[in-house]
Amino acid sequence: MVDLAVMIIAVAVVVLVGYLVPTILQVKRTVGQSERLLIRLNHELPGMLKEVKGTNENIRALTDQARVGVDRATIFLNAVGDVGQTVNQIHQTVRGRGGTVLVGLTSLLAGIKAVTSTVKHRVHKEPKEKKEDLPNGD
């Protein structure tokens, strides 16, 4: 019976080794691939980090330039707003004075019309009066 037990244990060990060998070989391949991956990462990672750092510096420079541009645009737009307010004030002033000037001009024209009307009226009356003053009536 001991021989049978030893045989069963021997068969179990052979079966166990049969299952473990492929697993160990797969682990060996996986470790080899991992090692190659780490070597590749160690080789490529410094270059990638330099590129990321350069990109980061470019983004910072662009951000600074954008900030300066926005500041300049703000100053420009404020100046344009001030010019717009000045134009509006001048427009309001001209509109207010324009009304006064228009009233003055209308009054002046009315005065000129009255003067011309009076002068015409007198010019037309004077010859009649002069004819009446003449003894012959001519």
Residue type, 94: V
Provide the pLDDT confidence category of residue 27 given band limits of 50, 70 and 90: very high
What is the reported pLDDT for 109?
84
Output the average pLDDT for the chain: 83
Report the C-alpha gap between 68 and 18 in whole angstroms: 72
Alpha helices in the chain (DSSP H): 2-133
Report the C-alpha gap between 60 and 74 in whole angstroms: 21
Q: In this predicted model, what pLDDT tens digit does every residue of 40-59 receive, in sequence order?
A: 999 999 999 999 999 999 99
Asked if 131 contacts 138 with a C-beta cutoff of 8 angstroms, the reply is: yes
Residue 28 has pLDDT above 70, yes or no: yes
Report the C-alpha gap between 30 and 36 in whole angstroms: 10
Query: Tokens standing for 60?
Result: 């910072």
- Residue of higher predicted confidence among 46 and 134: 46
Q: In this predicted model, what pLDDT tens digit does every residue of 63-82 receive, in sequence order?
A: 999 999 998 888 888 887 87
Q: Which residue has the tokens 């190659």?
A: 36
Report the C-alpha gap between 60 and 65 in whole angstroms: 9
pTM: 0.42
